[in-house]
Amino acid sequence: MRDSIMQSVFDLHCDTPHNISKNKFNHIIPTKLHHQCYLGAVFAHFVYPRERYPFVEIIKLLSSTIAYIKKLKTAHIIHSFRELDKNKTNIILGVEGGHSFDNTFKQVEVFYQLGVRVFTLTWNNSNKLAHSALRADKKGLTKKGKKFLRELKNYNVILDLSHASTRTVLDVCEICENRVIASHSCVRSLHPSYLRNIDDRAIQAIADKGGVVGVNVSKHHLGDNSVVDHLQYLKDNFGLDIAAIGSDFDGVTDAVIDNPAGLKAVEKELFKKGYKTSDIEKIFSKNFLRVFKKATA
């Protein structure tokens, strides 16, 4: 029996691949996602910049995830909107951090052939393509990064700007022809001391490109506000069509929600604030699916 979330969720960022590789699960248990009303999730593949061969380590993680998901009856990997199956949990493969694909564009081509459709340009570290918010918020794309974007336009992928510096986001949104999102970024205006959160100028640039911003569930990101407070800020200042959920489950140690079933409380609070069913449906899945459809058409 499915849990009582009325709306299906498409989560923009889960760090579950590491747990899959270890077969030891935390927030996300993939076999349960369908029954927790997860229409889908982006599974982000990440290794630390200190790894000697990050590209190789990501390949290993991707191989592990692909093999695992293929065995599941209630989930499958999708590469385009056309493959969406409402009777299963739809997994999109992502790679987080340009340090794993910034040596040569052929690395991106390999990831794409393996099924990756979401590329997160930076992590907390800056790389050869762009600067991160925590390292250099006023510095943006590098010369190599601009060349990278010119090549990326030939691929049906989404560029994820979570972790990126404000200047990077503005630079990308000015020249990028791909669809853009910030998958797991709380609002900086509600918690200004944490530069990892996304600045209003960056949010507006993503909104102007028709993208979305996913709010995560980390207490460190949320500050003294709730998930709903951050969603409300996005709606009030940039419109309902930009708001989404990007939990960062399995990537944070201070989650204010224990697992996907906890999103029932978010839905309940949104209803109390006067949101209609159709509004919540947009936040929980349809806003992102609009972007994914345009990106992979």
Sequence ranges of the domains in the chain: 9-296
CA dist list (Å): 143 to 140, 148, 188, 257:
10, 9, 27, 40
Q: How far apart are CA 265 and CA 203, in angstroms?
A: 26
Q: How far apart are CA 108 and CA 98, in angstroms?
A: 10
Per residue in 147-160, pLDDT (tens digit) is 999 999 999 999 99
- Would you state the pLDDT for residue 142? 98
9-296 has CATH 3.90.1150.10 classification: no
Who contacts 94 (Cβ-Cβ below 8 Å, separation ≥6)? Answer: 13, 42, 43, 44, 45, 116, 117, 118, 119, 120, 160, 183
- Would you state the pLDDT for residue 219? 97
Residue 7 token pair: 């709306």
Q: How far apart are CA 99 and CA 55, in angstroms?
A: 8
* Type and span of the H or E element at 117: strand 116-120
**φ, ψ for residue 157, nearest 5 deg:** -130, 160
CA angle 256, 225, 12 (to 5 degrees): 55
CB–CB of 146/174 below 8 Å?
A: no
Cβ-count burial 47-82 (b if 16+ within 10 Å, e if not): beeeeeebbebbbebbebbbebbeebeebbbbeebe
Amino acid at 31: T
CB–CB of 91/40 below 8 Å?
A: yes
pLDDT along the chain (297 residues), means of 10: 65 98 97 95 98 97 98 97 97 98 98 98 98 96 98 97 98 98 98 96 98 98 98 98 98 96 95 96 98 95
Q: How far apart are CA 222 and CA 210, in angstroms?
A: 24
Q: How far apart are CA 146 and CA 177, in angstroms?
A: 12
Q: How many CB atoms lie within 10 A of CB 191?
A: 19
194 three-class SS: coil
Per residue in 107-117, pLDDT (tens digit) is 999 999 999 99
Q: How far apart are CA 250 and CA 20, in angstroms?
A: 11
What one-character-per-residue DSSP string does 218-274 give? BHHHHTTS-HHHHHHHHHHHH-GGGEEE---BTT-SSBSS-SGGGHHHHHHHHHHTT
Query: Dihedral of CA 167/169/173/175: which sign?
Result: positive
Q: How many CB atoms lie within 10 A of CB 91?
A: 25
Query: The pTM is what?
Result: 0.97
